[in-house]
Structure 1
Amino acid sequence: MEAHDIAVAETVNASKKLGREDALGMARQAKRLIAAKGKKVTAVDVTAKTPDDDELAALMLGPTGNMRSPTVRVGQTLLVGYNDQVFADELG
């Protein structure tokens, strides 16, 4: 994978715990949500399907109730969790 210059607009320290309301707010601002848990990747078109809060929270929160990391916003897409292929596809 080639190194690319990516402009970082905002960085939030991992010690700042982001919970359910933070996650739902981020999801509602996105058009697409791609959540990776291990090898499982779930993509949701937030504008077409209008998922409910519980569905979004299940994709975005870990077992402690905090936002899973990494969480990256790329344009109108929100990436939650890490998957090599997803990051390569979305970040180029």
Structure 2
Amino acid sequence: MERRAVRLRITGIVQGVGYRYWAERRARELGVDGWVRNCPDGSVELLAIGGEIEVERMVDACRGGPPAATVQLVQTLAADDDGTVGFQARA
């Protein structure tokens, strides 16, 4: 199966609301590899790698996020598959 990779920049109220841990659980449910981390500017950055359908489902899920989040914008950029296996929240 060919893997697709996208990098997301998620803005709004997305730090301090469990977004990284929610993304980690959701990615594992979908079978998506990659990582998620908080950025100094208050946004969240996420790399999603997997099949076309699974990655699109992850992108769609990120537009809502966990219940305590208020997502304003999800920017989606093509990315390189960095070979990550599994999905993890990074510091």
Q: TM-score normalized by structure 1?
A: 0.29
Q: TM-score normalized by structure 2?
A: 0.29
Structure holding more strand per residue: 2
Q: Which has the higher contact order (CA 8 A, sep 6+)?
A: 2
Structure holding more helix per residue: 1
